[in-house]
Amino acid sequence: MMLKKIRLSASALLLVLISPCIFAKAALYLTEDVLFLSDKRQITSVDIINRGTRTGVFEVRWLDHEMQQDGVLKRIELGQLQHSLAPKVRYSPRRVTLQPGQSQRIKVALKRKAKQSPAGEYYSHLNVLTINDDLESTIELQQSADSEQQGLHVKARIGISIPVIWRHQVTAAKASLSVARAEGSKAKLRLEKKGQASLRGYIHVINQKTGQAAKPVMPVVLYPNLDNRLLELAVPDDNQEDLLVIYSASAKTEEAKDNALAQVNL
Amino acid sequence: MNKKLLFFAASAFLCCSPSGYSAFTLVKVTDISLGNVLAGPSGRQWVISTSGSVSGTGSSDYISGAQAGEILISDTTAPASAQIQAINITGTGGLSVNQITCSYNSGVEAHCDQSGYIVITGTLATSLKLGIDLQSTQFHNGGDSPQADFDIEITYQ
């Protein structure tokens, strides 16, 4: 059989040849990782910055998720969830083209009729997807007579989703921690939530003898649709009797000790 | 520029946010590439691991140039819990995608196209490597342009 080569992913091969230029792409940079709206603060915003070296095209859209018992977010068709924020807000712009160093503020505002919604915590994820991370190359390829369009291409578009939360006539949820099971070096903790709002905080494991953190801080979120989560914790056997577990809104252990939302001895 | 210097440059590039911001940065370093393979019939499977190695029934037709995909992620507000998931996976021109795999911070390679893959973010640029398992569904010649596309979504919890 006559052998023919298929040229696969011309762009990727080019990257191999000019590896020092691997950052010749747009870099997606968001200035917030969560946005909050309230009955008093009805407008919020996040900036998208292109910190790369090529022009990027970004699309902004909403996604809905529901948290499962294991903490995984399950994607739900937009607007299907009762707590979806997407239908209650307007936002703009929805697509932006940013040259290197340029930024664009995305504004999110509650619609006027949103105030008539039943009390509760509403949320959706604001998703910023990189449609094109090197607009210059795309244009060059389109204009080039010997464009290397042929070949097998595998292309990943990258995006970030941040939660946007509106607490409408609800108070902060209360947290409690209990030990569901402790066996040897593994413990299962149950974090429970009372109230309609979500819980956003960090689990700190503190050695009570030394007062120092015994494990790295673990961020744990409970979405409004859950009232508890089981958390698995690996703990050293020799320390187990001396460990204090704290759930706090602070990621800093010293602050967490004084501002515990819940705590339990292991 | 050697690899160490390059990595340092990458970290420096991604670690520092403008003052006053909390921020999350994503930059794609490379797309997944299968490199050069021989023309051949449908039914061939190529698995490109997150380390860039090639296996599967089509690996005997593989010549050279395969690489894993790589995305650098940094988060000035780390640690935060984030979910990585490959969605909107499509294959065209005689290609179908069986699965996408991810490895964050040199961790174990895991499927990330099903229920998602939860990671704890870091302040310094951390590498997310991507692999793919794909299959040809038609004979491919030198002039073909089959393509696989997907979105990698990093969802803050």
Q: Which of residues 67-126 of B touch A (CB under 8 A)?
A: 67, 69, 71, 75, 77, 79-81, 83, 85-87, 95, 115-116, 118, 120
Instruction: Identify the residue with better confidence: A33 or B15.
Output: A33
Contact B23 A30 (CB under 8 A): yes
For β-strands A43-50 and A103-110, DSSP reports them as antiparallel
Q: B-chain residues within 8 Å CB-CB of A134?
A: none
What is the pLDDT at residue A108? Answer: 98
Q: Is B51 on the interface with A (CB under 8 A)?
A: no
Q: What is the 3-state secondary structure (H, E, C) of A137-203?
A: HHHHHHHCCCCCCCCCEEEEEEEEEEEEEEEECCCCCEEEEEEEEEECCEEEEEEEEECCCCEEEEE
Q: Which of residues 97-136 of A touch B (CB under 8 A)?
A: 125, 127, 129-130, 133
Give the dihedral sign, CA A195/A198/A203/A209.
Answer: negative
Average pLDDT over chain A, rounded to whole? 86
Rounded Cα distance between B148 and B93, Å, is 9
Rounded Cα distance between A163 and A173, Å, is 17
Where residue A250 falls among pLDDT bands split at 50, 70, 90? very high
Contact A6, A151 (CB under 8 A): yes
Q: Is B45 on the interface with A (CB under 8 A)?
A: no
Contact B94, B135 (CB under 8 A): no
pLDDT at B156 over 80: yes
pLDDT at B107 over 50: yes
Tell me which of A14-23, A37-46, B108-117 is least confident.
Answer: A14-23
Tokens describing residue B118: 């939860």
Contact A219 B155 (CB under 8 A): no
pLDDT at B49 over 60: yes
What average pLDDT does range A120-147 have in this prediction? 85
What is the pLDDT at residue B140? Answer: 87
Q: Is B41 on the interface with A (CB under 8 A)?
A: no
What average pLDDT does range A191-202 have in this prediction? 95
pLDDT at B91 over 80: yes
Report the length, in residues, of chain B: 157
What is the pLDDT at residue B15? Answer: 36
Percentage with pLDDT > 90 across chain A: 68
Rounded Cα distance between A127 and A231, Å, is 28
Cα of B10 to nearest chain A Cα, Å = 8
pLDDT tens profile B132-142:
999 999 998 87
Where residue A1 falls among pLDDT bands split at 50, 70, 90? very low
Q: What are phi and psi of A224, to 5 degrees?
A: -60, -30
What is the pLDDT at residue B23? Answer: 78
What average pLDDT does range B86-100 have in this prediction? 94
pLDDT tens profile A218-236:
999 999 999 999 999 887 6
Rounded Cα distance between A222 and B21, Å, is 25
A198 exposure class (CB count in 10 Å sphere: 0-12, 13-18, 19+): buried
pLDDT at B96 over 60: yes
Rounded Cα distance between A152 and A10, Å, is 8
**Interface predicted TM-score (ipTM) of this complex, two decimals:** 0.84
Q: Which of A13, A151, A161 sits opposite B155 (nearest CB)?
A: A161
Q: Which of residues 143-162 of A touch B (CB under 8 A)?
A: 149-162
pLDDT tens profile A115-128:
999 999 999 999 99
Residue of A nearest to B19 (CA): A31
Which residue has 């930024």 as its token pair? A103
Where residue B143 falls among pLDDT bands split at 50, 70, 90? confident
Q: Which of A27, A151, A220 sits opposite B145 (nearest CB)?
A: A151
Tokens describing residue A185: 């070096």
pLDDT at A134 over 60: yes
Tokens describing residue B4: 């160490």
Residue type, A45: S
Contact A156 B34 (CB under 8 A): no
Tell me which of A113-117, A181-185, A253-257, B17-21 is least confident.
Answer: B17-21
Instruction: Identify the residue with better confidence: A247 or B19.
Output: A247
Vertex A153 angle, CA A149 and A158, to 5°: 115
